[in-house]
Amino acid sequence: MTTSPTASVLTGQTAPAAWIGTRRVESTIRLPVIDPYREIEIGTVGVADADLVDAAVTEAGRSLAAWSATAPATRADILDRTADLLEQRGAEIAATVSAEMGMPITLAAATQRDLPVSVLRSMAAATRAFAWSENIDGAVLHRVPAGIVAAITPWNMPVHQIVAKVAAALAAGCTVVLKPAEATPFDAELIRSCFIDAGVPAQGFAIVNGDGPTTGAALSAHPGLAHVSFTGSVRGGQAVARAAAGALTRTTLELGGKSPAVVLADADLATVIPKVFGSGLVNSGQACNATTRLILPAAHAGRIEELLVAAAGAARLGDPADPSTTHGPLASRIQTDRVLEHIATARESGARFVIGTGETEPSRGSDCFIAPIVLADLPPDAAAVREEIFGPVLVIQYYDDEAQAITLANDCQYGLSAEVWSGSTDHARAVAGELEVGQVKVNGVRTRMRPAVPFGGLKRSGYGRELGAVGLAEFTEIKAVMS
């Protein structure tokens, strides 16, 4: 099997069960961390039990008053310094994520280094401009810190998700207990060190490591929290919401999607189709807002499929540490098996494979590789059309007229994100206004290009928003003083 340059980045590392203040706390139970490209154990992570979770929340509570009293301008300055440190250490952070979950290094640099830096600086600017108090009808409305925030983050975009949640909570004057995904614990330690070195008190930013049933469940249910922010599956979000409800703790849930890319009949297909193909398969399809449903004009089906085949020919599967790699392995054998099950079900439902075979490609260096797949001719109720696959699988849905395109786009249990492509921006915006999602990107605008724009969904994609002033406000309460 090919030896990856990532071997020098992570080998034999250990993450503790928790970081509480300045204490590194170990546990007897440890979980393996697997590099999906080399398919070897590159380290282990401890598991925090309910007692450790309680200790972390208690410690965060001790520092809450002091941090909440810090001037917003001071908190903003700390976020800017964190951005500087993350940028300085960006190469190590990107390489760590690439080794942990197989993300191509060029994508890791763009989304786990550059994007978090932009988010931090955007949140710092939002903190300085935020309406911490305003006059309404003879009263002064004060935005005050909510309290202790639990941030529960996923493995697919680990650094970005940590920064999006933690930066907003700290900007609001809250303290934080972070539970990163057990598959990606090492980048979380690096990010915490950036925040602390920039001036965040160690007592105000704890990490508890472990799995969902043990650590995540204990954290979600803790009565000392003011807010739980979770990104993950619908099933995981439901469990978090149930646990938090027992203590009447507010939640923000970002639960994924089955996002449509609506290509209108007046779009320049030669330009648009390769871009739609790429956005649907970013991170090998392991992105919550990946546009995995292609809503395309039936009148141009032949030309569209030719363009899709050509786009697939430009994909480069291989070593994530190689800058020329466009698609790495899936993040684990478990995830690979889930995707293969979806593909098998689609085949049984009569799917036509426009691109791909639906088999693993171990010759690429790992059994976790699946080449891009594009399916067509599936009924609208097929599982591959309606369920989030979280892998390199796109589904074509052809339409005859624009009204049908909008209907197809909205016929979905999710409502996180969408794209609209048109030769006219005004036309695209008009169609965007008809889509039942939390965010619509017109003619190629990327989420990473707009770090102050709120991100979040409707329907089973969850509720609440991240990023910018709206994301900051999630972690505040309103105190109205009437006189």
Q: Which amino acid is at 247?
A: A
How far apart (Å, rounded) are the C-alpha atoms in residues 204 and 60?
A: 5
DSSP state of 362: G
217: enclosing H helix or E strand: helix 217-220
Question: What's the residue count for the chain?
Answer: 483
Phi, psi of 359 (to 5 degrees): -120, 160
CA separation for the pair 321, 37 (Å, rounded): 10
| C-alpha span between 178 and 165 (Å, rounded) | 9
Please report which helix (H) or strand (E) contains residue 148, including its range. strand 148-152
Residue indicated by tokens 């009949």:
265
* Contact (CB, 8 A) for 345 and 384: yes
Q: Which pair of structure tokens corresponds to residue 69?
A: 């009293």
Give the pairing type, strands 293-297 and 393-399.
Answer: parallel
Question: The tokens of 400 are what?
Answer: 């005859």
Which single residue is written with the structure tokens 């690096």?
190
Contact 227, 466 (CB under 8 A): no
Measured from the Cβ of residue 344, the count of other Cβ atoms closer than 10 Å reads 11
**Contact present, 110 and 448 (Cβ < 8 Å):** yes
What tokens does 465 get?
Answer: 């928003």
Q: Catalytic positions, please?
A: 254
Both structure tokens of 204: 């105000």
Q: Which two tokens stand for residue 449?
A: 């290009």
Rounded CA-CA distance 328/312 in Å is 14
Kindly report the number of other CB atoms within 10 A of residue 223's CB atom.
11
Which residue, 482, 479, 470, 483, is CA-closest to 127? 470
**Alpha carbon distance 204, 194 (integer Å):** 14
Q: Which residue matches tokens 């005004």? A: 426
CA distance 7 to 23: 29
